[in-house]
Amino acid sequence: MAFEFKLRRLVEFHETDSAGVVHFSNFFRYCEITEAAFLRSLGLTLHRADHAWVWPRIDAQCSFLKPARFGDELEIHLLVVRKSEKTIEYMYAIHVLGAAAATLVAQARIVVACASWSESAQSLKARPLPPELNELVEEAPQDVLGSSLRRVGRVG
């Protein structure tokens, strides 16, 4: 069972503003990219062609602590904080990797719900998490969560 994942990537020019600093909206994109990579690493996907499930974001928060700039190497650390019948809560710590040490630049919390499209209602309807996801994803143990929350501070 998996509860954490780390992804490294470079800050691209198009992700920055005129000062060369990452635009705040991109931190949410980094989180979503990391979530998709986490699920892919388990043989799962965010998107199914048959629309058996979709993952609307029902709560999202991000605290920006320091700027990240064009060319910086980022490490995005995902932890599964909570898993319920129909939702998953992720916590993210985003660091700029430096020669001497990593610098925490942002922390985020995102709650996703599992839903499927209802043709009759022409809307999304919450549904239980897919069994294959339930079998592979678990909540991070309290000792891991505790040390991570102390290290980056609790968002929210």
Element holding 30 (H helix, E strand): helix 25-41
Q: Of the residues 17, 50, 59, 72, which is catalytic? A: 17
d(CA 155, CA 149): 9
User: What region, left, alpha or beta, does residue 27 occupy, with left being phi > 0 and alpha being psi -120 to 50 degrees?
Assistant: alpha
d(CA 114, CA 46): 10
Q: Are 152 and 104 in contact (CB under 8 A)?
A: yes
The answer to whether 143 is a known catalytic residue is no
User: Which residue shows structure tokens 């294959």?
Assistant: 132
Q: Which residues carry out catalysis? A: 17
